[in-house]
Amino acid sequence: MIDREILLEKMKTSPYKPMRGKIIEARMLTDKEKFFRIQLEGKINLGHEPGQFVMVSIFGYTEAPISICSSPTDKGFFDLTVRNVGVFTNKLHTLNKGDIVGIRGPFGRGFPIDHMFGYDIVIVAGGLGIVPLRSLIRYITHNKNDFGNVWILVGCKTPAELLFKEETEEWMERSEIKINCTVDRADADWHGNVGLITTLIPGVDINPARTYAVVVGPPIMYRFVIAEILKKQIPEYQIIVSLERRMRCGLGKCGHCQIEGVYVCQSGPVFNYAQLKDFKGECHEKAV
């Protein structure tokens, strides 16, 4: 916990100043997403909760919020996976092993792991949603005896877009985790399901009261997936989501990430569906 104190102290004296983070591994996962493994100065551990994010700085390009995709049980480093979508991420993609980035964080609330102990877990990942969920999946695989049955449902547009392929295959080999993938459009090599991710949900056999569903994906996906999950009678506060918003500070000040009165960077990005339901109209992810 010493590392956590160092981080908190840094935050207190200058929460806007990033720490030095060295890229110790970098590789393309698909043609749009790049994976980075980062080591902080003094090799201190980030000590994050699965589902939290960091603000990554590249001087001259400011900052962007990036989900952490490794588990706190992965010591000495943390992982990020970034899609190339704008000026900042475009620059980030040019960086490689040995390059330095600035890191602030971890920020926000992660997945409520403590509440999830002893429960069955259904993880639903759409597209890039697998990135923050990887932190949870890795945490669960490292602490499997704390959880009940685990289902992982992964969906993306094409097989080429599937992230963490090798890891997914490893997860598939583990007997205590059930994993199911689907693509919108198959190619010649694809032998799995074809269709929207919602089609995988009815097939999951669960005891709703003893189950947490964790859903992360593009905004449009939530309302359909959540509607399917609600049909399974899982209580609203056991349906967990993680929301993407524009963020500039991570400290609950700059205002960009607000959904109505809530700062996503501090109160989120992880919410349960009961919280989502309270929003009056600014939450696109809410089922109508």
Partner 1 sequence: MKKQFNPERSRGAKPKVAFFDFTDCEGCQLQFANMGQALLEVAGLVDIVNFREIMSEEGQDYEIAFIEGSITTDKDVTRVKKIREKANVLVALGACATIGGVNGIKNRAPLELAKERVYGKKSDTINTINTMPVHKVVKVDYFIHGCPAYIPEIITVIKCLLMGRPYVLPNYAVCTECKMNENVCRYEKDQECLGPVTRAGCNSWCVNNGNRCYGCRGLVDNPAADGQKDILLKYGLKLEEILQHFTLYNDSMGEKYDQAFK
Partner 2 sequence: MKYASIKKEDLNIWLEYLSGRARLYAPRKKENLFVFRPVKDISEIALKYIPTILPPKKYYFPQKEKLFKFKIRPFKTAKAIKEFEDFILFAVHTCDIAGIQCLDVIFRESPEDPNYLNRKEKMIIIGIECLEYCDKHANCTSMGNHVPRGGYDLMLVDIGEKFILHINSEKGEKLIRGLTYIKEANDADMLSLERVREAKKKIFKEELNGSLAKIYETFDRHFASPIWQDVGRRCVACGNCTSVCPTCYCFDTSDEMKLSLNEGMRYRIWNSCQMEDYAKVAGGEDFRKGRDSRQRHRYYRKFKYPVDKFNRYFCTGCGRCTRTCMAEISLIETVNSLLAAESGTPERPSASGVAERGEAK
78: Cβ contacts below 8 Å, ≥ 6 apart: 37, 38, 46, 48, 54, 68, 70
Judged by CB under 8 A, does residue 91 bind partner 1? yes
Provide DSSP, 198-231. Answer: GGGSTT----GGGEEEEEES-HHHHHHHHHHHHH
Identified binder of partner 2 from the candidate list 187, 189, 281, 288, rule CB under 8 A: 281
CA nearest neighbour of 242 among 110, 59, 135, 141: 110
The CB-of-136 to partner 1 minimum distance in angstroms stands at 34
The CB-of-284 to partner 1 minimum distance in angstroms stands at 19
Of residues 84 through 123, those in contact with partner 2 by CB under 8 A are 85-86, 88-89, 100, 102
Span of 7-15, 31-39, 117-125, 136-144 interacting with partner 2 by CB under 8 A: 7-15
Span of 42-50, 108-116, 143-151, 243-251 interacting with partner 2 by CB under 8 A: 243-251
Q: Which helix (H) or strand (E) holds 276?
A: helix 273-277
| Tokens of residue 221, six digits | 């996906």
Between CA 68 and CA 217, with CA 222 as vertex, the angle to 5 degrees is 30
Q: Which does 253 bind (CB under 5 to 8 A by kind): partner 1, partner 2, none?
A: partner 2
Of residues 39 through 68, those in contact with partner 2 by CB under 8 A are 59-64
Span of 32-40, 45-53, 78-86, 140-148 interacting with partner 2 by CB under 8 A: 78-86
Q: Which does 91 bind (CB under 5 to 8 A by kind): partner 2, partner 1, none?
A: partner 1
| Tokens of residue 196, six digits | 């929207």
| Cβ burial 76-90 (10 Å sphere, 16+ → b, else e) | ebbbbbbbbeeebbe
Q: Which helix (H) or strand (E) holds 84?
A: none
**Calpha distance 189→280 (Å, rounded):** 45
The answer to whether residues 95 and 23 touch, using CB atoms and an 8 Å cutoff, is: yes
Identified binder of partner 1 from the candidate list 85, 87, 209, 220, rule CB under 8 A: 87
The CB-of-92 to partner 1 minimum distance in angstroms stands at 12
Phi, psi (deg, nearest 5) at residue 234: -70, 130
Identified binder of partner 1 from the candidate list 1, 9, 42, 60, rule CB under 8 A: 60
Judged by CB under 8 A, does residue 251 bind partner 2? yes
Binding site for partner 2 (CB under 8 A): 11-18, 20, 59-64, 83, 85-86, 88-89, 100, 102, 218-219, 244-246, 248-249, 251-256, 258-261, 280-282, 284
Binding site for partner 1 (CB under 8 A): 60-61, 87, 91
